[in-house]
Structure 1
Amino acid sequence: MSYQWLEWAQRIQALSQSGLAFSKDIYDIERYEELRRISAEIMVEHTELEMQKIKDLFLSDTGYQTPKVDVRGVIFQDDKILMVKEKLDDRWSLPGGFCDIGLSASENIIKEIKEESGYDAVPTKLLAVWDKNKHPHPPEAFHYYKLFIQCEIIGGQPLTGIETSDIQFFSESDIPSLSANRVVESQIKTLFEISRDPNKETLFD
């Protein structure tokens, strides 16, 4: 799904943030602040977010802007995929979340799987690196790359966490209602396709 306005808003925000990070001229700083305000107005016009919420998001991010990173754990057992139910929207997703500073992608996904599902897991293969803007996710203020990492369970037991209320394995024909901010059905189906072809190369946008 294409959101041209979202791409414009994100680009304007990125340019304004970079300008504010490196500019010393007071007049340039004023112009970059105006650009940031315009990008926030575009977001308000096309989403349900309030202006103050968007301003808070933008103001909390400083320095040269790059895409943020989200990791998702992909665990198959008996032709079924592990999913967790998110408390935030009562919908299902792959275990995962935004990467924490100081942890590698592998370390992040091990932590997320443990916290959200109770399982101990080891990463085995990077399956896909997908640009969130190029898939049918709802629009968001920032630009994200999503890393889908295949993992194997080596221990633990199913336990819900602070952010999850249920843990189940689902077949391809029984995909539940998904938390679309986190994962969409086309991605889940592609992951099932990959699971049937272990020699398939990593996918990326």
Structure 2
Amino acid sequence: MEPPEQVIRRQAASLRAIAQTGLAYSGDESDHERYRAIRTAADALMELVTAEPLPAELDRTTVADAGYATPKVDVRAAVFDEDERVLLMQERSDQRWSLPGGWCDVGESPGQAACREVLEEAGVAVRATRLAAVLDRESRGHWPPMAAHVYKLFFLCERTGAPDRNAEPLETLDVGWFALEALPELSTSRITEEELHLLRDAHRDPSRPAVFD
């Protein structure tokens, strides 16, 4: 069983990350007050399990945007079927297609994030089997550019055999399996055709090392 102090520390970090995100994206002052209250509660919880001073210690470890700037981490999951068709989902924001994926959340590993995104966006239960690529979004032809520098982690995943989730609505417009020679219009902000071919090559050759920029 996980020690209680580790549970408290992890949950406090998650709460503070939620507060930081809310303060960054919400324009409503009432919401700002609520997020500041969440941040204060998170600091109080962290003080129970750390001897270091707050908030300086927290700012070094959980509020990177307030200190040294570092790239954001985007994970994408590639699932291929027996005919080498890739699982894609249709984004609500631009009605174009992409691999399931998104930003990593505080408190989860990159592999966990990739599997969660497949379940939430495509309704398919998977497990991550390999890290296929770590790419710099800035150098890979994604459009439009983003204000934040982004590293993209691509995982190969396979279906677990567990029942796919049907009870909750998906976060996307549609889901489908596509041959790389007959792709729909891609959401190039998130995925490129070149990256899909790179992933299929990795799927075909299990000994192929991960590609990185």
Which range, TM-score by smaller chain? Answer: 0.5 to 0.7
Aligned to 2:193: 185
- 2:118 pairs with 1:110: no
The alignment partner of 1:164 has SS state of coil
1:171 to 176, 179, 183: 179
What letter matches 2:148 in structure 1?
Answer: F
In structure 2, C-alpha distance between the alignment counterparts of 1:134 and 1:100, rounded to whole Å: 24
Q: Which moved further from structure 2: 107-116 or 140-149?
A: 107-116
Sort the Cα spacing of 1:187 and 1:149 in 2 relative to 1 into closer, same or farther, 3 A.
Answer: same
Deviation at 1:96, TM superposition (A): 0.6
Paired residues for 1:56-205 under 5 Å: 61-78=65-82, 79-138=84-143, 139-154=145-160, 155-157=162-164, 161-205=169-213
Deviation at 1:176, TM superposition (A): 1.2
Paired residues for 1:10-25 under 5 Å: none
Sort the Cα spacing of 1:189 and 1:183 in 2 relative to 1 into closer, same or farther, 3 A.
Answer: same
Q: Percent identity?
A: 40
Q: Which moved further from structure 2: 191-200 or 125-134?
A: 191-200
The alignment partner of 1:191 has SS state of helix
- Conserved? CA contact 2:89–2:122, under 8 Å: yes
The alignment partner of 2:186 has SS state of coil
In structure 2, C-alpha distance between the alignment counterparts of 1:191 and 1:140, rounded to whole Å: 23
In structure 2, C-alpha distance between the alignment counterparts of 1:158 and 1:91, rounded to whole Å: 23
- Conserved? CA contact 1:118–1:156, under 8 Å: no
Deviation at 1:91, TM superposition (A): 0.4
What do the CA deviations read for 1:82-126 (whole angstroms, capped 9, x no partner)?
111101100000001000011111111121111001111111100
Question: How much is the aligned-residue C-alpha RMSD, in angstroms?
Answer: 1.7
Q: Normalising by the residue count of structure 1, what TM-score does the alignment of the two structures yield?
A: 0.67
Give the count of matched residue pairs.
Answer: 146
Structure 1: where are the runs of 5+ without partners? 1-59
The alignment partner of 2:120 has SS state of helix
Sort the Cα spacing of 1:90 and 1:107 in 2 relative to 1 into closer, same or farther, 3 A.
Answer: same
- Conserved? CA contact 1:158–1:167, under 8 Å: no
Sort the Cα spacing of 1:89 and 1:156 in 2 relative to 1 into closer, same or farther, 3 A.
Answer: farther
What do the CA deviations read for 1:130-177 (whole angstroms, capped 9, x no partner)?
000110102110100000001111123375855301111111111110
